[in-house]
Structure formats: C-alpha cells, structure tokens
Chain A
C-alpha cells in the first residue's frame, strides 16, 4: 500500500539563497512599476511638462506688442511680483482664503462631529446630503448665489421690506467668501468626519473619568486627536480658495481683484505671459508650503 513513487518534475525545486531572493524582489519591483506606469505617464505629460513650460515662460521676455519671446532670459516677471499692487492682491487673496477656511472649520466641525456620532444608517444618509451639491454644476450654483445676494434677491428684498437700507452683498469680498464657503464646505466636512469617526471614544471617557468636564475633555483629547482632519480639511479649503477664479469672477466686484482673476488677466487682456507664469509659481510655492505643514502634522499624528 505504502509505496512511494518519485513524481517526475519539470523544474528542479530550488533551495532559497540570497541571489534568488534578490531576483524575486527585483521582479516584484518591476511588476509594481508596470502597474503604476499609466499614472506615471499621465503625471509626466499633463503635470510635469506643463509645469516646466510655466517655469520656462516665467523667465521669458514680453515684447512690446505682448508676444512672448523665448530669448533674453530675465527676472523681470519676478521683480514685478513686488509691485505694491501685486502684493496687495496676493495679501487680499490670502486673507479671504484664510477667513473662508476658518468659517468652514467653524461650521464643519460641529456638523462632522454630529455625523460621526450618529448610528451608521443615519451617518450614511447625512454624508450623502453633504455630497448632493456636487451633483449639479458648480457654475450654476454660483450663479444662483448671484441672485440670492443681489439687491433684488431675497436678502435685499427682506432688508428693504423691513425699511432698512438694503444690504448690498454682491460684488463685495463678503460675497466671495460666502460663495467660497458654500463651494468648499464639503471638503472640510469629509476629512473632519473621517478623523472624528476614527477617534477612540474610550479616550474621551478616560478624560471624563479623570475629572475633566465635557468641554475640557473636548479641548484636551478630542480636538488634538482630530488635528489631522482639521489640517487636511483646512488645506483642502485654503488651497483652492487662494487661487479661486470662478467664484470671485461671478460674485466679486471688479475693484477687489484676487489672484486667480489677476493671473487670467495676465494671460488674456494684459498679454504678459511671463508675469502670469511667475504668479502661478508663487501659488504653487505657497501650496507646497501648506502641504509641508500638513506632512509635519501628519507625522506628529500617531
């Protein structure tokens, strides 16, 4: 019964050694690279190359007629960044983006907290509600705000009906901020929700057990442990707000120019491509700085 027959094998089984292990690891890396290749190609063609073009153009020369000559490389575009008008525009964009971010944070945190502490079914329904605005076109929604904020819109009519001076919001920085908060609020809610949902509520109980009242437990435990969500959400709102073009173009006035619109002006009416490129690079650098802050925060976050 117990006869052992040697099975004929096609390949000799190999005993592992360092050389074979290295070969296997190399094969593994090759496979990984092939899988990522389409994404690499995409990033190279549509991100790296255009960005290099922008960098090159920022050192180019603008001719008197507004054509861009790729010769006589110079730093004039960068010198122009320090014009008081430009500094003012960058500064205004910066504080509008900052206030927008803070308002979003103030609205989104309690809401995200509320969602994260519901039962799963309610939670999912509320998350869908957060996403619903994305189902319709951003431009259309922003135009709707133009009506709401306009002097013959509901706010204007109401203040007028009450016999007050009609509040004029449209074409003010306030209108831009309302539009930006409206547009970017979901980007704040979602990371905050993710962070709060992940929170170990046992830690909050531990704080309460160690004599912290509800508010102190929130300040000492909940808030610091959801910092990753606060940082992520703030970046997701700040970065697009800083360079926003559509919302300021529709809701903002012509006199409070913001960075996004100013860059568009350089490429169109002003025909100063080198300067427009330099401005774009400034935005990129500021965003890069913001991302580095985030990486530091994420590294601290255990």
Chain B
C-alpha cells in the first residue's frame, strides 16, 4: 500500500456536459503542505471537494493513506475542511462549534472539553468560547474554523481559500501562522488558492491547475523558476513571454531574429516561448559594458513606473516589448523614457516553455 496521505488516480468529474476535473493524477506526501493553485473555474475546488467527499468523482480513484475513499460519505473520511466562508454554525457557541466533530464521534465529554480548550488555546481564542460566531471578526472566525477542524486530529486537513475573505495585512499574518501551525501539528495540509503569492510562501509543493487539468506539480521554487508551460509561467508572477524557436543546441531564435542562449532547449516540444521574469532582466545604458556570457538585446525605454521598493520599465526591443523590474536602492541608475538601453540576462534564468 502507498505511503501517500492522499493519492488521486485518473480522477475526473463531469457536471452534465462540463468537464470540471480532467483525469488528475496526484500524490501528496504525508505531512506535506500542498497547494492547488489556479484561476477560478480551473477545477481546484472541485478536486478538494472530491477529497472531502462533498462531490463524487465521475471516474477515478481517491485514496487516503492507502484506503479507497472515492465514494465514501464525508463523515466517513478521516479528513476535515476549513471552508472559504468558514461555515461556522451561527446557532452554536464557539465552544460548541469546535466541539461538534468530537461530539459526533462520541468522544467522552471530559476529554472532548479538554481537547476543545487546547484547540482554542492554540488559536488564542480560549477567552471567546462562550460567544457566538457573529460576535467575532473575520480573522477570529477563520481561527475558530481552523480549530474546529484541527481538534479532530484529521489525517488530512483540507483548506478551501481560507484566507480569501481577509484583508491583505491580516492575510499575510495568517499565512505565516498557518505555515507555523502546520509545521507544529505535522498534519498534511491540502490548500486551495488562486493567490499565487499565498501558494508560494506557504507550500512545500504546488500543483497548478487550469481547465480541469493538473499542469505542473513541484516545489515553489521549481514552479516559479522553472515553469514548464506558458500557462504556469504566466499565471504565477509577472513574466515576459517571447515567441521562440530552437535554432541549435542551447541556442534559441527569438522574434526579431534575436538569437540567445537558453537552457532546457531540447526538453521543450511543440510551440515554444522564452520565459524570463522581469526581475531577472538587468538594464544598462546603451554602450555600457555587460558581463560576458550573458544574453543581451538593445531597446528603448517606453515607460518607467515607480513602485517604492522598485521601478518597473517597459522596454521596446527587437524581440518585442519586455517588462523589467529593478529593485530600488541608493545609487540605482535610472533610465528616462526614450533613452536607449541594453537589456541583459543570465541564460540560466530563462526557460523555454510549451503552449
């Protein structure tokens, strides 16, 4: 039997004529913080709901710690969910909310009370246990939802965009808390989000979904730095995608007859794009020296936008318009719109991606 916490094989879900999830194969390790990332409608939530048992797959197998669960009812699965809207029971106190799962499992009252207290302590809400959910702020409700799921010590915790309703500051703080918590309790987290930054900062691994298919699975750095497809490259962070054609080993011909070096040339197949992150591009005034062994192309500055911590440039070059990000620091040379510049980058930081 497998050691995976969750294993999906050929999982497909159709709603009438709509193919929501298309033959997804996925293995999530025990104790892993795994994120399913994708735009709305990509099938990530449906995938999570099938793991939870709220939807049944049309085809395929879902195993949780080696046990087939595809058609089990939600209450028969060793998983718990933190819902996007928190789904706290409005007619129960915080204590009753958190104790609900234990009561259903018929855990002895004294033990249940103790575990509820511990769970509420963990999310620093022990002092609010007598109140009802509507008296709590969004962040507090979120914590209760987390405690309500974790108190049951599930084998896998499923989280459906749990931070989506919080404002930015609180969301960033909760991201750190969640990651901390996951490391402390050691439970496998499957986290659904459309927010790439959230996925990158918290996850051990990320699975990127689009159109019901799982496009790429890998560590955060892998997904960000070595995207394999145009969609993954484009969805996560800002990126320059330049039409490209392989013209030799390690050489790529770009639009405008610019030939550059790139890695991964032979692994790519079909339509190709050269993908480079804006922050990996460097700028010098035209005519200034660039380090040897680097790719370079000359262009004209179109726009320069100040972001406080950085400057963003739009540059017209022979291979098309590219975005460049330069971190702001004292002594940074600025280039005015209309001036000629050389854009250069390390061949190792670009990737060739398929359509």
Contact = CB atoms under 8 A, between A and B. Distances in A.
A1 to B, nearest CB: 27
Interface stretch (B79-87, B265-273, B275-283): B79-87
B69 to A, nearest CB: 13
A206 B89 contact: yes
A94 B255 CA distance: 87
B75 A302 contact: no
Nearest to A221: B89
B91 A206 contact: no
A208 B55 CA distance: 12
Contacts of A203: 87, 89-90
B290 interface: no
A147 B28 CA distance: 69
A206 B81 contact: yes
Contacts of A207: 89, 100
Contacts of A220: 89, 100
Contact of A213 (B54, B75, B79, B148): B75
A200 interface: yes
Interface in B60-105: 73-75, 79-81, 83, 85, 87-91, 100-101, 104-105
Interface in A270-291: none
Interface in A167-182: none
B132 interface: yes
Kindly state the interface size class of chain A when it binds its partner.
Answer: 10 to 19
Given A210-B152, A302-B132, A205 B104 contact: no
A202 interface: yes
A216 B132 contact: no
A206 B88 CA distance: 8
B252 interface: no
Given A203-B89, A302-B90, A302-B91, A209 B81 contact: yes
Contacts of B85: 200, 202
Contacts of B152: 210-211
Contacts of B177: none
B197 interface: no
Given A200-B85, A202-B85, A302-B132, A208 B75 contact: yes
A211 B83 contact: no
Contact of A200 (B80, B87, B132, B148): B87
Interface string A205-235: 1111111111010001100110000000000
Contacts of B73: 208, 213-214
Given A216-B104, A302-B132, A302-B134, A211 B75 contact: yes
Given A213-B75, A302-B132, A206 B83 contact: yes
Contacts of B104: 210-212, 216
B91 A224 contact: yes
B200 interface: no
Interface string B209-251: 0000000000000000000000000000000000000000000
A202 B134 CA distance: 16
B148 A210 contact: yes
B210 to A, nearest CB: 25
A210 B105 CA distance: 9
B105 A211 contact: yes
Contacts of A302: 90-91, 132, 134
A202 B81 CA distance: 11
A214 B75 CA distance: 9
A205 B83 contact: yes
A205 B80 CA distance: 11
Contacts of A209: 52-54, 74-75, 79-81, 149
Nearest to B100: A210
A160 B132 CA distance: 60
A54 B35 CA distance: 72
A274 to B, nearest CB: 47
Contacts of A211: 75, 101, 104-105, 152
A200 B87 CA distance: 8
Given A209-B52, A213-B75, A225 B100 contact: no
Nearest to A212: B104
B101 A210 contact: yes
B187 to A, nearest CB: 15
Contacts of A224: 91
Contacts of B81: 205-206, 209
Contact of B91 (A208, A214, A216, A225): A225
Nearest to A211: B104
A15 to B, nearest CB: 35
Chain B CB within 10 Å, residue with most, of A209, A216, A221: A209
29 contacts: A202-B83, A202-B85, A202-B87, A203-B90, A205-B87, A206-B81, A206-B83, A206-B88, A207-B89, A207-B100, A208-B54, A208-B73, A208-B74, A209-B52, A209-B53, A209-B74, A209-B79, A209-B149, A210-B101, A210-B104, A210-B148, A211-B101, A211-B104, A211-B105, A212-B75, A225-B90, A302-B90, A302-B91, A302-B132
Closest 10 CB pairs of A and B: A210-B101, A206-B87, A211-B104, A208-B74, A202-B87, A211-B75, A209-B81, A210-B100, A302-B90, A224-B91
Given A210-B80, A211-B104, 20 more contacts: A200-B85, A203-B89, A203-B90, A205-B81, A206-B81, A206-B87, A206-B88, A207-B100, A208-B54, A208-B73, A208-B74, A209-B74, A209-B75, A210-B75, A210-B104, A211-B101, A211-B105, A212-B75, A220-B89, A224-B91
